[in-house]
Amino acid sequence: MSSGRTTPTDAGRSGPGEAPTLHSIQQFTRAYEEEGRLLGYACRSCGFLTLTYLLVCPRCGTPHSLEDRLFSGGGRVLSYTLQHVPSDEFVNDAPYAYALIELDEGVRTSGWLPAVKRPEDLAVGERVVWTRSYRTGLVFERPPVAGGDGADRGTGP
């Protein structure tokens, strides 16, 4: 699955006429827009994985050691709360689930699930996937059910 794409992070000393090295937020934007992949970071020194860009690795203390790493986006819900009182950017989404999620790579991160409105909508331990979104933060959703899982919908009275 190697895409063969390279990012200009190995550009070395920028000479005249050379494209400037992209900042992390620009790299994130490019991964998001062109590849639809979840961009995170890995420590070159100790292998620590994170989705948050940090100047110093929190595990081994090596400065400037994080390099780009693409994540699968799949994970499992470790815990979540239903937010009924949103901050301003989520004012039209409440209620929604704010969740602690362990990605398949072992990274714990937090994100939100706008489609989860009630406790019955999401179980702890349930599988979720990151989805591309223009919204603030990491948006996750329950993966589409493949092949007639026959979820019997309880119809109301």
Q: Provide the binding-site residues for Zn ion, judged by CB under 5 A.
A: 43, 45-46, 48, 57, 59-60
Q: Is 136:110 a contact under the CB 8 Å cutoff?
A: no
Beta carbon of residue 58, minimum distance to Zn ion (angstroms, whole number): 8
Nearer to Zn ion, 43 or 128 (CB): 43
User: Judged by CB, which is closer to Zn ion: 46, or 124?
Assistant: 46
Question: Quick check: 20 and 29 in contact, CB under 8 A?
Answer: no
Min CB(105)–Zn ion separation in Å: 15
Q: Which is nearer to Zn ion, 43 or 97 (CB)?
A: 43
C-beta closer to Zn ion: residue 55 or 91: 55
Closest separation in Å from C-beta 78 to Zn ion: 23
**Minimum distance, C-beta of residue 64 to Zn ion, in the bound complex (Å):** 11
Nearer to Zn ion, 44 or 76 (CB): 44
Q: How many CB atoms lie within 10 A of CB 122?
A: 20
Q: How many CB atoms lie within 10 A of CB 138?
A: 20
> How would you label 71-99 residue by residue, b for 16+ Cβ within 10 Å and e otherwise?
bebbbebeebebbeeeeeebeeeebbbbb
Question: How many residues are present in the chain?
Answer: 157
| Nearest approach, Cβ of residue 66 and Zn ion (Å) | 8
Task: Look at residue 110 and give its three-state secondary structure.
Answer: strand
